[in-house]
Structure 1
Amino acid sequence: MSDLEDLQMKIRRLQSRAGTAKMDLHDLAEDLPVGWRKIKAVAEKTFDVFAEWDAAKTELAALEKSR
Structure 2
Amino acid sequence: MEDVDALKTRVKKLNAQATQAKMDLHDLSEELPTNWEKILEVAQVAYDAHRSLMAARKELAAATA
TM-score when normalising by structure 1:
0.93
Could you list the runs of 5+ residues in structure 2 that have no partner in the other structure?
none
Partner in structure 2 of residue 21 of structure 1: 21
Map 1:38-57 → 2, pairs under 5 A: 38-57=38-57
Q: Percent identity?
A: 42
Cα RMSD between the aligned structures? Answer: 0.9
TM-score when normalising by structure 2:
0.96
Aligned length: 64
Q: Structure 1 stretches (4+) deviating beyond 2 angstroms?
A: none
Could you list the runs of 5+ residues in structure 1 that have no partner in the other structure?
none
TM-superposed deviation, 1:53: 0.2
Distance in structure 2 (CA, Å) of the matches to 1:3 and 1:49? 22
Partner in structure 2 of residue 6 of structure 1: 6
